[in-house]
Amino acid sequence: MKFKGDIIITDPCYIMRAKHHGTIPITKDDWEACEYGKNMEVLGINNYLTRDTIYGDWSCTTFNSDINEVLGQFCADAGLVSVFLLDVVLEYNPDFDYHINRPWTTTLIKDFDGDVVIEVVNVEYEDEGTGEIREDQEVQVIGKGNINFYTTQTGF
C-alpha cells in the first residue's frame, strides 16, 4: 500500500479514543465497531494495513534497511500490527500521543513516501537450550521508498 507522510506502526488498539481516562485507552464501542482493528474504515481510517502477529502479544524493532539503524520499536496487546498515517489517526483521535509518550508501543517514521507491506517471512534462530538452528515464521512490516525499513520480532 502507498503511504505519503508521517506513518506509525503499532497495534490498532492503541489508537482508540477513550471515553474516560483509565489504564486501557479503548472505547469498547469503537473497538467493537472496527471489528477489533480489522475494519478501521468504520472509524474514518481508509489508508491502513492490519494483520495478526501470529504470536499474539509481542514486541518488535524497526530498522532502516539501508544502514541497519534502529528507527523505533512497537508492541502489540491485541495481537495485531497496523500501519497508519499519523495525521489521519490524529483526526480520529486528537489525544493519541503514544508515539511521543509511549515510544515502545509505536514506531514513527517521519515524511515516508513509498510502499509498505506486511508479510509472513521464514526466519532462522538459535535455540537457546540446544544451540540448534531452527526455523520459524514471523510477521514483518517492510517499507520501500525514500526510507527503506523492515521490522523484526524482538520479544513476546
Per residue in 29-47, pLDDT (tens digit) is 888 889 999 999 999 999 9
pLDDT band of 156, cuts 50, 70, 90? low
Sheet holding 58-64, edge to edge: 48-52, 80-85, 2-10, 107-126, 133-145, 149-155, 58-64, 69-76
Check whether 18 has a pLDDT greater than 90: no
Tens-digit pLDDT profile for residues 106-138: 999 999 999 999 999 998 888 888 999 988 889
pLDDT of residue 28: 62
pTM: 0.88
Is residue 9 within a helix (H) or strand (E), and if so which, with residue range?
strand 2-10
Residue 146 per-residue DSSP state: S
